[in-house]
């Protein structure tokens, strides 16, 4: 019997596709008719290298003219990408001497466009990865040898590779999300074959995602990441260098109050929370679960809505729809349980690889100043012990 809280779903309603997941279709490069903003985006790596970002922005009367409500969504996203990189470059130009105030010619358009996109005015994963790539050859697919970034901080191989690996994983997640949805719909309609086929599609996608994540160290060195990539993606919440937050000068709705926003982090990707929700992997409350809940505010609204829809999918007993369905048939249809366990195990493997990277790329590095701490992630929260706890809870789903 179909649970009343799980109706028909269509990925396209949530800005998701089975081909490229949460990625948009070929993000817009330079937003049209904004020469100053586009110049800032193009020159940002050189300005940041010369430590003249602040001077360049301070000398501008405006970065954007009025922002019409008639812009296409991709124009807002392109402008948001450049403003977000520029904002962080302005603040962290000298990493151990961050700026505590943004000038109005940057703060006001950044805030206004962020409001239209339903996200805070800070660099989030959506601008850093989802909306920040182009294909070298548009006749070829989104893959590691055919994608580059539209916007960088300093540039260079390590920064480029760090982000494009995330983009590749996002693309590979597309068929997996479609498979997960197929399995859940199959469970809702009591169609065992659909559940099995959906789980197998999910496992295939997860395998590709895991293999892409394993390639991170090929071209992104931990030392270079920590010292040349990471300093610019920190936020200003729980920040030892900006303990009171940031002043967005000229933003009327803030009324002069300092704002605190988390830094960019892969925890703002919607993939893993969707896998947890769909597979019924539960996490007992801890500081990381609270932080991850907060990270949803930084996701594109439609992606967040999709995740919330998956979380509400329960059976008549209030259990996770898919996990409950498979467990009930553990003896009668062992192939279903085996396929489900493969997916959960692949999720655990993904988490385990991530823990290893958090250790080598951050935790083991030498901290030279307070603005780039080794004990907390770029989102501003302690991570090592809670990452391990979430891994253990993922594995627990295989034996319950």
User: How many Å apart are CA 300 and CA 352, to the nearest integer?
Assistant: 27
- Say if CB 180 and CB 198 are below 8 A apart: yes
Does residue 134 sit in helix, strand or coil? strand
The answer to whether residue 198 sits within a structural domain is yes
Could you tell me the two tokens for 143?
């893959």
Q: How many domains are contained in the chain?
A: 1
Strand 101-102 and strand 247-248: the pairing is parallel
The answer to whether residue 306 sits within a structural domain is yes
The answer to whether residue 6 sits within a structural domain is no
Report pTM.
Answer: 0.96
User: How many Å apart are CA 90 and CA 52, to the nearest integer?
Assistant: 9
- Say if CB 396 and CB 279 are below 8 A apart: no
Q: What pLDDT, on a 0 to 100 scale, did the predictor assign at position 324?
A: 96
Long-range contacts for 312-316 (Cβ within 8 Å, ≥24 apart)? 312/5, 312/6, 313/3, 313/5, 313/6, 313/184, 313/188, 313/277, 313/278, 314/3, 314/5, 314/6, 315/3, 315/187, 316/1, 316/3
- Say if CB 317 and CB 179 are below 8 A apart: no
Neighbours of 132 (CB within 10 A): 25
Strands (E), the chain: 101-102, 134-135, 147-148, 247-248
The answer to whether residue 5 sits within a structural domain is no
**Domain that includes residue 126, residue range:** 18-396
User: How many Å apart are CA 111 and CA 247, to the nearest integer?
Assistant: 12
Does residue 193 sit in helix, strand or coil? helix
User: How many Å apart are CA 379 and CA 152, to the nearest integer?
Assistant: 19
Q: What pLDDT, on a 0 to 100 scale, did the predictor assign at position 381?
A: 65
Reference 292, options 278, 279, 306, 307; nearest CA is 307
The answer to whether residue 1 sits within a structural domain is no
CATH of the domain at 79: 1.20.58.480
Q: What pLDDT, on a 0 to 100 scale, did the predictor assign at position 33?
A: 85
Give 298's DSSP letter: G
The answer to whether residue 368 sits within a structural domain is yes
Burial of 155 from C-beta contacts in 10 A (0-12 / 13-18 / 19+): middle
The answer to whether residue 7 sits within a structural domain is no
- Say if CB 6 and CB 183 are below 8 A apart: no
The answer to whether residue 12 sits within a structural domain is no
Reference 181, options 1, 6, 395, 397; nearest CA is 6
Tens-level pLDDT at each residue, the chain (400 residues): 444 456 678 999 999 999 999 999 999 999 988 999 999 999 999 999 999 999 999 999 999 988 888 899 999 999 999 999 999 999 999 999 999 999 999 999 999 999 999 999 999 999 999 999 999 999 999 999 999 999 999 999 999 999 999 999 999 999 999 999 999 999 999 999 999 999 999 999 999 999 999 999 999 999 999 999 999 999 999 899 999 999 999 999 999 999 999 999 999 999 999 999 999 999 999 888 998 999 999 999 999 999 999 999 999 899 999 999 999 999 999 999 999 999 999 999 999 999 999 999 998 898 988 888 888 777 666 677 789 999 999 999 988 6
Could you tell me the two tokens for 382?
């302690």
Query: Using H for helix, E for strand and C for coil, what is the string for 197-258?
Result: HHHHHHHHHHHHHHHHHCCHHHHCCHHHHHHHHHHHCCCCCCCCCCCCCEEECCCHHHCCCC
Q: What pLDDT, on a 0 to 100 scale, did the predictor assign at position 162?
A: 98
């Amino acid at each position: 019997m179909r649970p009343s809280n799980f109706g028909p779903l269509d990925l396209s309603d949530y800005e998701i596709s089975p081909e490229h997941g949460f990625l948009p279709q070929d993000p817009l490069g330079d937003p049209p008719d904004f020469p100053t903003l586009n110049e800032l985006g193009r020159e940002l790596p050189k300005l940041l290298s010369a430590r003249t970002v602040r001077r360049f922005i301070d000398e501008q009367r405006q970065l954007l003219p009025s922002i019409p409500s008639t812009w296409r969504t991709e124009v807002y996203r392109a402008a948001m990408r450049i403003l977000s990189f520029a904002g962080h470059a302005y603040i962290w130009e000298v990493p151990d001497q961050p700026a505590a105030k943004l000038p109005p010619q940057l703060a006001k358009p950044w805030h206004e466009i962020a409001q239209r996109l339903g996200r805070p005015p800070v660099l989030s994963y959506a601008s850093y990865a989802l909306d920040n790539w182009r294909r070298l050859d548009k006749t070829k697919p989104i893959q590691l040898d055919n994608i580059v970034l539209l916007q960088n901080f300093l540039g260079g191989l390590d920064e480029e590779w760090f982000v494009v690996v995330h983009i590749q994983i996002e693309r590979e997640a597309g068929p997996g999300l479609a498979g997960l949805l197929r399995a859940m719909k199959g469970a809702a309609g009591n169609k065992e074959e659909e559940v099995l086929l959906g789980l197998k599609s999910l496992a295939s996608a997860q395998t590709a995602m895991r293999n892409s994540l394993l390639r991170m160290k090929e071209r992104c060195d931990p030392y270079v990441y920590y010292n040349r990539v990471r300093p610019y993606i920190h936020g200003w919440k729980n920040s030892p260098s900006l303990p009171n937050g940031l002043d967005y000068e000229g933003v009327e709705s803030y009324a002069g109050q300092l704002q605190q926003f988390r830094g960019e982090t892969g925890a703002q990707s919607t993939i893993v929370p969707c896998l947890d929700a769909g597979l019924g992997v539960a996490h007992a409350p801890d500081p990381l679960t609270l932080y991850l809940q907060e990270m949803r505010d930084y996701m594109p609204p439609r992606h967040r809505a999709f995740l919330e829809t998956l979380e509400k999918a329960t059976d008549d007993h209030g259990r996770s729809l898919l996990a409950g369905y498979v467990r009930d048939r553990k003896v009668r249809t062992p192939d279903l349980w085996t396929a489900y366990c493969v997916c959960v195990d692949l999720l655990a493997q993904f988490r385990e690889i991530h823990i290893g990277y958090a250790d080598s790329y951050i935790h083991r590095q030498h901290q030279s100043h307070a603005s780039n701490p080794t004990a907390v992630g770029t989102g501003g929260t302690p991570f090592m012990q809670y990452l391990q706890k979430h891994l253990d809870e993922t594995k627990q789903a295989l034996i319950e």
